[in-house]
Structure 1
Amino acid sequence: MKRWIAIGLVVLVLGGIIVYNKVLHPAPGSSPGGGGGGDKKGAPGKEGGAGKGPTPAVNAYVVRAQDIKENVITSGSLLAAEQVDIYPEISARITQLTIQEGQPVAKGQLLVKLFDADLRAQLQKLQAQADNARRTEERNKQLLARGGISQQEYDIVTTNLRSSLADIDLVKANLQRTEIRAPFSGIIGLRNVSSGALVSPNTLIARLQQVSSLKLDFSIPEKYGPSVRTGSLISFQVDGSNTTNQGTVYAIEPGVEEQTRNLRIRARVANSSSRFRPGTFARVTLTVQTDNALVVPTQAVIPQTRTNQVVVIKNGKAQFKDVTTGLRTAGSIQVLSGLTAGDTVATTGLLFLKPDAPVKVGKTITLPGAGPKVATK
């Protein structure tokens, strides 16, 4: 009994193989129905010969060059055009504090006055010594002319005079350090000291910021570097507002950051109405434009594991070509390499086309709109 079951299974397997090869997947030029051949035109004969099917018709697009844009969206920070933390240069007591918190100050305006009575007394003493040294130098000069003293003695007197004058300059410089003045016009922040406090060079008094115009710092991937230049316009939004604001690029870092492979860019933003505050987070949009770029419809590109392909229709046959893509819009993709202007690419029926298979163009399509395409990153 088992023997007959085994024989039956072998017969079924052999029969399945024959049906699969002869009926379901016949060899090219043969038909499932018989061994007869077709006529010279490939039409099926009376004995079951096979013929060629109709040539598939697809929609196609003729590759051409046009302008394309991409919006590179990144994050940035608004910074004061100028900013300085105010520290005293010497240790002393505050005798005068003219800082009005949150108020504008002019360049050169006195902010803090430190105790200087000891320095002024020292200056008076040195000036008196210098006057005496100057008179001594004049007398010894006359004596030198008459031969009353030697040149060496006269040189000692002149050295003492120059030393006294240098001491005066040193004290005057220390006196200037007792006055802290605004290095530029701006808004003074919150003060951290009070009048009468003893301060040192490590004591932060306040922060001064120039906010009539702001800097906007942001970074973009290095591949967009060649498309950005001084004068490029950027747009940005800040939290709490849906208004789109404008800025102008005025400085670009010469090198790329090695850790992130990003390029730092700085733009200038007008802030005469003080709408923005330094330190605010900003969502920056930088529009990168490529002129005369080759583009194809999105549906014409076949994604592959390591590359992308398109089907080029040439001499009535389908040719699969690898392409390198660039900027992408909602309906088109930039082609960097693999195609030339004038090539015809298929946009429909891509799943049914095979390499070197016959194909005909049923309809030529165009991309909607005549203006530059805008892509978002």
Structure 2
Amino acid sequence: MTLKITSIVALTLLLTACGEEKEDLKAQKAPVVTVDVVEIKAGEVLRSIAIPGSVIPNEQVDIYSEVSGRIQRIAFKEGQSVAKGTILIQVDSDILKAQKAQLMVEQELAQKDEARKKSLYQSKGISLQDYEVAQSALADSKAKLDLLNVQISKATIRAPFSGKIGLRHVSEGAFISSSTLITSIVQENPVKIEFSVPEKYARNVKIGQVIQFKTDGDSKSYTGKVYAFEPRIDEGTRMMTVRASLPNPGGLIAGSFVSINYDMGKEENAFMVPTESIIPILKGQKVFVVRNGLVEEVPVEIGIRTPDKVQVIGNLKEGDQVLISGLLAVRPGAPVKTKLAGK
């Protein structure tokens, strides 16, 4: 029995040794993959990103009446350009003017009463309290008249700024209230371009930076300058809103979609690699780097993009060789032969 067990153990050891020998032979016979690589070098690159945006007017407001009443006169035409202060709508104010006439009579009586009681008070004919009642009545009359003058002035609706009138939503004779939309006015020169940049670029946004953009369906290129941006990142989108402005040459319409090329200055000591070297992974991107003849996996973040290259940020140093071919045929730790791209 002992002899039988000894034989089994010996046979097992022999088979194991043979298997390991076969694996060693197989490893020795496996060909070493030759891969194309690029040697990364730190350099200067223009920090430019492509993002969408919209044209918005310099000023825009919907016109409502602050007083209720019937429209006596509409003094504008749809699409008309108007100057600041131009009369747009005249609301009927006849009742208000009648109330004003009544108040003016009451104020005149209050002034006479106050003057008479002042004289009586000075001659000690009445008490101070009686004189103060007359003063209060006069002040109240003046306040009511001032309020009525304001209401009468608001019956005349004027353009709040120079611009172009939109479509009309009311007619002469219509009764309007403070919730009735009359029209809109837009100031379209200059115009603004509004867009959002990702959080990782937010610290690079500066006043005075130049943007180049094109409108949908138009090959003409326009240039604007950044003049303002939000001081915080939107927590929902992780983006920061930026605005640029430019004189309107006449072809830019508020609300239009634009494709923007945003020049954010220069990036110093940037590592740029071909786009095909980037490997998407679950939590970002990675590249394969050859060090000492072996493949290493390096997680990276993506920075500036150009038509054929992309900036990589990670545990990389100048002189590292990044794989641009054979990405599916290698694995970390595998030995490879390298061939510099273009040679």
Q: Same-fold call, TM > 0.5?
A: yes
Are the counterparts in 2 of residues 215 and 267 from structure 1 also a CA contact under 8 Å? yes
**By how many angstroms is 1:72 displaced?**
2.9
Are the counterparts in 2 of residues 222 and 256 from structure 1 also a CA contact under 8 Å? yes
Counterpart secondary structure, 1:294: strand
Are the counterparts in 2 of residues 60 and 344 from structure 1 also a CA contact under 8 Å? no
- Indicate how the Cα distance of structure 1 residues 26 and 122 shifts in structure 2: closer, same or farther if over 3 A, else same: closer
Q: Identity over the aligned pairs, expressed in percent? A: 30
**By how many angstroms is 1:105 displaced?**
0.8
Counterpart secondary structure, 1:26: helix
Are the counterparts in 1 of residues 277 and 322 from structure 2 also a CA contact under 8 Å? no
Does 2:289 correspond to 1:311? Answer: yes
Which residue is 1:239 aligned to? 216
Counterpart secondary structure, 1:176: helix
Counterpart secondary structure, 2:149: helix
Does 2:181 correspond to 1:204? Answer: yes
Which residue is 1:83 aligned to? 60
- Indicate how the Cα distance of structure 1 residues 81 and 168 shifts in structure 2: closer, same or farther if over 3 A, else same: same
User: How far, CA to CA, are the matches of 1:103 and 1:239 in structure 2?
Assistant: 26
Letter in 2 for 1:278: A
Does 2:83 correspond to 1:106? Answer: yes
Does 2:63 correspond to 1:64? Answer: no
User: How far, CA to CA, are the matches of 2:214 and 2:110 in structure 1?
Assistant: 68
**By how many angstroms is 1:169 displaced?**
0.6
User: Number of aligned pairs?
Assistant: 323
Which residue is 1:326 aligned to? 302
Comparing 294-303 and 279-288, the one that deviates more: 294-303
Which residue is 1:184 aligned to? 161
**By how many angstroms is 1:185 displaced?**
0.6
User: How far, CA to CA, are the matches of 1:282 and 1:365 in structure 2?
Assistant: 38
The 5 A counterparts of 1:1-377 are 21=21, 26=25, 62-69=39-46, 71-271=48-248, 273-298=249-274, 301=277, 303=279, 305=281, 308-313=286-291, 317-318=293-294, 320=296, 322-327=298-303, 328-341=305-318, 343-345=319-321, 355=333
User: How far, CA to CA, are the matches of 2:50 and 2:236 in structure 1?
Assistant: 20
Are the counterparts in 2 of residues 253 and 264 from structure 1 also a CA contact under 8 Å? yes
User: How far, CA to CA, are the matches of 2:264 and 2:49 in structure 1?
Assistant: 7
User: How far, CA to CA, are the matches of 2:220 and 2:59 in structure 1?
Assistant: 25
Letter in 1 for 2:289: V
**By how many angstroms is 1:231 displaced?**
1.9
Comparing 331-340 and 78-87, the one that deviates more: 331-340
Letter in 1 for 2:50: I
Are the counterparts in 2 of residues 129 and 164 from structure 1 also a CA contact under 8 Å? yes
User: How far, CA to CA, are the matches of 2:277 and 2:334 in structure 1?
Assistant: 18
Is the radius of gyration larger for structure 1 or structure 2? 1
Letter in 2 for 1:308: K
**By how many angstroms is 1:326 displaced?**
2.4
User: How far, CA to CA, are the matches of 1:349 and 1:132 in structure 2?
Assistant: 99
Are the counterparts in 1 of residues 295 and 330 from structure 2 also a CA contact under 8 Å? no
Unaligned runs of 5+ in 2: 1-13
Deviations 1:80-102 (A, max 9, x none): 11111111112212222211221
Letter in 2 for 1:234: I
Unaligned runs of 5+ in 1: 1-13, 33-52, 367-377
User: How far, CA to CA, are the matches of 2:325 and 2:253 in structure 1?
Assistant: 56
Counterpart secondary structure, 2:170: coil
User: How far, CA to CA, are the matches of 1:114 and 1:304 in structure 2?
Assistant: 65
Deviations 1:285-321 (A, max 9, x none): 323455223325438947475652443455xx54635
C-alpha RMSD of matched pairs (Å): 3.7
User: How far, CA to CA, are the matches of 2:52 and 2:325 in structure 1?
Assistant: 42
